[in-house]
Amino acid sequence: MNAQHLNKNEVDAVILALDECYRRLHAANVSARDLTQEGFSLMFKSAYQGIIQK
């Protein structure tokens, strides 16, 4: 995802999704370093979909 090609609403959704990812990690007592890139990508996709469906 290239931030230069996102509109303001998309940027806001990405920020909220990242916040949700780190909220989930904190709730699970897991560090982002403990995830693989693929694992974080899956979690981000899930969080992003949840944000844009609201």
For residue range 2-53, list pLDDT tens digits in order. Answer: 667 889 999 999 999 999 999 999 999 999 899 999 999 999 999 999 999 9
CA–CA dist 46, 51 (Å, integer): 9
- Please compute Rg for the chain using Cα positions: 12
CA–CA dist 7, 43 (Å, integer): 22
1 falls in which pLDDT band (50, 70, 90)? Answer: low
CA–CA dist 51, 54 (Å, integer): 6
The answer to whether 13 and 51 have CB atoms below 8 angstroms apart is yes
The whole-number pLDDT of residue 5 equals: 85
CA–CA dist 21, 15 (Å, integer): 10
Query: Model-level pTM?
Result: 0.84
